[in-house]
């Protein structure tokens, strides 16, 4: 029996645009380089169904049979990101509509509306057919839904969306009176007399109501999730193979907590620069804890991404491609798949990098791909029998928080940048960390940080209350808890019931911005003097507590900037401002309680990942220079690098982008 199992090195494959002889040669080349998984059919709807109801799938059966014969696994994709012309011409109501009221045209991709009943109908038909035809192949190890939901656009203003949005609001708020009350629509005389009068928030003379905008973003995000779930259910009815979709970094503004909720595993596409490999670590640190199954990097650049002026050029950074691949496997992934296998000979992405050129010869990525395949073959047993050691620290990630900050609230805050900067304070000090969604369990952590989290709803508050009562430390802020679940301000206090629970009070708050504004500083106990950034909130302790930092100047001189409140067996810490980065790092290191790897130490920019067996015993370290500058590594004792089979000294000098897999 042919076995198809990870770790996978994969690539996107488009056999529909090549002759049969070329396909056979491509498969031989794949095997030679070390590719053992391909994803196919994601843009092939016009080849599968060239006319409505006329299906041609023989070519796809032939390709999958060839791949199966050559022991190359297949990720089968649904083709709904690129509807065929007969569908968009014959049923123009499936097209998404721009904010100005004009429909998107055929000839691009993702020009459909995810809420369109007609489009959902056709998507169900093609998905059901694919499951019926291809679920029996052993080589089909996974299914991917659509492609990069929200990539080209994540909003639509078509009639179907307007009708669905009004139904969504009615289901959520029950009555228009309740909506008006919770949103506070009386301001600017925006009261609605019925759900049928609520608009989509297109551009107007002034900005739309923050609650309208927030709910619209949530609605659109849910529309994509519902569209994915329709396909997922059909696939799960016909096969036991796992189902996923390929996300991307958070610029899509879709709620991945909701999108991936019922999917079997996480997969995402990443194209960040070689000089920003640390951002891959950040992404993997949220993908790993979200599901029990290993995650996949479904797309990344083998050589470069982009067009004639390429971005993320890995061919100019020796060792960076290998390091990127190993970051995936070291941090809990089981697949690195490239976009794409063979460069397109036509179309919008002709100049995108690939594993092989359009004429069939391998690109400069070949050496690294071959090397990693050989290294995976050597290390597979240890890699598959171990996992990443569970961190004691977690950082909350929230897509609704993005929507709040995107639309006015503390508008000088770019949520993505602010959260990643907070995250870097852990990474740069080798403090193990998980990035978790707000619904994630927290009982196994010692410290949970909730920075830039404007909405802390009752469910999250209850969970975190129990966490603190049982001995945990909850760090709230900066800029957290100041919005209701409807994206309005609290009427009784800045942080609502959080202040009542922990017996604190926000007395003053103001932005630290403006031309000619003098900087504000605070004195942080045990840390030192630091500049305050972004916002200043002064905090009063109404019960028991400890002041950790005091503002030194400005309108709030002498008032509290950071306070700590005991609660049950644990404590809550409130950050009233964004501190200087150097001081933040020092405090986080102190707060983490020394939760760092004891087996080794390395220069900044070098990741140490501790791998443990099933009983939690540390058995190996994966060392990767993600900074690209090289540096020093010191281990407690000599170890064996299983990638080479050689013993390594306690003190090593690492080359730029070096990778070591050290076994005790």
Residue range 323-346: average pLDDT?
96
CA distance 561 to 557: 10
Residue whose C-alpha is closest to residue 628's, from 270, 313, 278: 278
Question: Quick one: pLDDT at residue 409?
Answer: 54
CA distance 658 to 641: 12
Percent of the chain whose pLDDT exceeds 90: 88
**Residue 321, Cβ neighbours under 10 Å: how many?**
26
Query: What DSSP assignment string belongs to 151-219?
Result: SS-S---SHHHHHHHHHHHHHHHSSHHHHHHHHTTTGGG---SSGGGPPP----SSPPPHHHHHHHHHH
| Residue indicated by tokens 């949520």 | 415
CA distance 643 to 622: 10
Per-residue pLDDT band at 152 (split at 50, 70, 90)? confident
For residue 190, say if its preceding peptide bond is cis, omega within 30 degrees of 0.
no
CA distance 435 to 506: 28
335 beta partners: 8, 296
The CB-based long-range contact list for 122-126 (8 Å cut-off, 24+ gap) reads 122/83, 122/87, 122/91, 122/94, 123/78, 123/80, 123/227, 123/230, 123/231, 124/230, 124/231, 124/234, 126/45, 126/48, 126/49, 126/78, 126/79, 126/80
Per-residue pLDDT tens digits for 92-133? 999 999 999 999 999 888 899 999 999 999 999 999 999 999
pLDDT of 309 > 70? The answer is: no
Question: Quick one: pLDDT at residue 1?
Answer: 41
For the chain, helix (H) and strand (E) counts, in that order, are 17, 31
Question: Quick one: pLDDT at residue 431?
Answer: 93
Question: Quick one: pLDDT at residue 412?
Answer: 75
CA distance 540 to 524: 16
**Radius of gyration over alpha carbons of the chain, in Å?**
26
Per-residue pLDDT tens digits for 543-583? 999 999 999 999 999 999 999 999 999 999 999 999 999 99
Per-residue pLDDT tens digits for 378-396? 999 999 999 999 999 999 9
**Residue 534, Cβ neighbours under 10 Å: how many?**
17
The alpha carbon of 131 is separated from its chain's Cα centroid by a whole number of angstroms, namely 28
Mean confidence (pLDDT) of the chain: 94
CA distance 330 to 328: 6
Pick the CATH number of 393-591 from 3.40.50.880, 1.10.3660.10, 3.90.1150.10, 3.40.720.10: 3.40.50.880
CATH 2.60.40.1180 residue spans of the chain: 600-663
CATH 3.20.20.80 residue spans of the chain: 8-157+240-385
Cβ atoms of residues 329 and 294 within 8 Å: no
The tokens describing 428, both together, are 């740069």
CATH 3.40.50.880 residue spans of the chain: 393-591
The tokens describing 66, both together, are 């060839």
The tokens describing 607, both together, are 């990741």
Longest CA–CA span in the chain (Å) reads 78
**Residue 407, Cβ neighbours under 10 Å: how many?**
20
CATH class of 600-663: mainly beta
Question: Quick one: pLDDT at residue 252?
Answer: 83
Per-residue pLDDT band at 203 (split at 50, 70, 90)? confident
Q: What is the 3-state secondary structure (H, E, C) of 270-297?
A: CCCCHHHCHHHHHHHHHHHHHCCCCEEE
Per-residue pLDDT tens digits for 77-89? 999 999 999 999 9
CA distance 223 to 226: 5
Residue range 451-467: average pLDDT?
97
Per-residue pLDDT band at 499 (split at 50, 70, 90)? very high
Q: Read off the DSSP letter of residue 71.
A: T
Q: % helix / strand / coil in the chain, to the nearest 5? A: 35, 25, 40
Question: Quick one: pLDDT at residue 61?
Answer: 98
Assigned CATH topology for domain 8-157+240-385: TIM Barrel (3.20.20)
Per-residue pLDDT tens digits for 244-265? 999 998 778 899 999 999 999 9
pLDDT of 594 > 80? The answer is: no
Q: Let me know how long the chain is.
A: 664
Q: Is the pTM of this model over 0.85?
A: yes
pLDDT of 211 > 90? The answer is: yes
Per-residue pLDDT tens digits for 597-620? 777 889 999 999 999 999 999 999
CA distance 11 to 366: 13
Question: Quick one: pLDDT at residue 637?
Answer: 85
């Amino acid at each position: 029996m042919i076995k198809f199992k990870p770790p996978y090195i994969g690539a996107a494959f488009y056999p529909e645009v090549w002759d049969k002889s070329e396909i056979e040669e491509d498969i031989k080349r794949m095997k030679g380089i070390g590719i053992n998984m391909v994803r196919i059919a994601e843009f092939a709807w016009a080849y599968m169904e060239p006319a409505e109801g006329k299906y041609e799938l023989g070519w796809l059966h032939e390709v999958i049979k060839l791949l199966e014969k050559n022991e190359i696994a297949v990720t089968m994709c649904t083709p709904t990101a690129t509807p065929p012309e007969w569908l968009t011409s014959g049923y123009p109501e499936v097209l998404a509509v721009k904010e100005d009221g004009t429909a998107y045209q055929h000839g691009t991709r993702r020009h459909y509306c995810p809420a369109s009943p007609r489009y959902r109908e056709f998507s169900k038909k093609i998905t059901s057919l694919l499951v019926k035809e291809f679920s029996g192949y052993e080589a089909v190890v996974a299914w991917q839904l659509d492609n990069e939901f929200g990539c080209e656009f994540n909003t639509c203003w078509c009639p179907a969306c307007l009708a669905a949005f009004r139904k969504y609001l009615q289901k959520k708020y029950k009555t228009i009176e309740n909506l008006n009350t919770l949103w506070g629509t009386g301001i600017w005389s925006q009261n609605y007399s019925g759900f049928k009068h609520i608009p989509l928030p297109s551009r107007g003379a002034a900005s739309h109501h923050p609650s309208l905008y927030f709910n619209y973003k949530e609605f659109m995000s849910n529309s994509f999730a519902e569209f994915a779930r329709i396909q997922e259910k059909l696939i799960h009815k016909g096969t036991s193979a796992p189902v996923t979709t390929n996300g991307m970094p958070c610029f899509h503004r879709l709620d991945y907590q909701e999108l991936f909720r019922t999917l079997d595993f996480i997969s995402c596409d990443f194209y960040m620069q070689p000089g920003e490999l640390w951002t891959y670590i950040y992404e993997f640190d949220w993908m790993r804890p979200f599901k029990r199954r290993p995650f996949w990097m479904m797309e990344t650049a083998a050589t470069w991404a982009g067009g004639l002026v390429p971005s993320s050029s890995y061919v100019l950074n020796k060792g960076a491609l290998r390091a990127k691949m190993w970051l995936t496997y070291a941090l809990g992934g089981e697949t690195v798949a490239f976009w794409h296998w063979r460069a397109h000979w036509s179309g919008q992405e002709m100049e995108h990098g690939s594993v092989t050129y359009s004429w069939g010869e391998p690109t400069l990525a070949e050496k690294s791909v071959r090397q990693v395949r050989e290294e995976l073959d050597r290390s597979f047993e240890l890699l598959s029998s171990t996992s990443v050691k569970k961190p004691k620290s977690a950082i909350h990630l929230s897509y609704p928080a993005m929507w709040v900050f995107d639309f006015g609230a503390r508008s000088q805050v770019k949520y993505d940048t602010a959260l990643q900067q907070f995250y870097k304070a852990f990474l740069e000090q080798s403090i193990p960390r998980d990035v978790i969604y707000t619904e994630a369990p927290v009982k196994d952590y010692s410290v949970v940080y909730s920075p830039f989290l404007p909405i802390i709803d009752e469910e999250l508050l209850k969970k975190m209350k129990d966490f603190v009562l049982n001995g945990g430390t909850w760090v709230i802020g900066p800029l957290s808890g100041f919005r209701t679940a409807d994206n309005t301000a609290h009427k009784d206090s800045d942080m609502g019931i959080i202040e009542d629970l922990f017996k604190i009070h926000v007395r003053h708050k103001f932005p630290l911005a403006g031309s000619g504004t003098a900087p504000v500083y605070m004195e942080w106990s045990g840390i030192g003097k630091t500049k305050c950034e972004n916002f200043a909130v002064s905090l009063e302790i109404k019960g028991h507590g400890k002041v950790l930092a005091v503002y030194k100047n400005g309108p709030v001189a002498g008032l509290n900037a950071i306070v700590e409140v005991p609660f049950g067996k644990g404590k809550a810490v409130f950050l009233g401002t964004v501190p200087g980065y150097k001081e933040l790092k020092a405090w986080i290191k102190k707060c983490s309680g020394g939760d760092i790897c004891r087996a080794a130490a390395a220069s900044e920019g070098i990741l140490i990942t501790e791998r443990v067996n099933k009983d939690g015993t540390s058995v190996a370290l994966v060392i990767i220079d993600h900074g690209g500058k090289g540096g020093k590594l010191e281990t407690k004792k000599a170890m064996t690098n299983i990638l080479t089979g050689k013993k390594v000294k306690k003190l090593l000098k690492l080359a730029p982008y070096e990778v070591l897999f050290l076994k005790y």
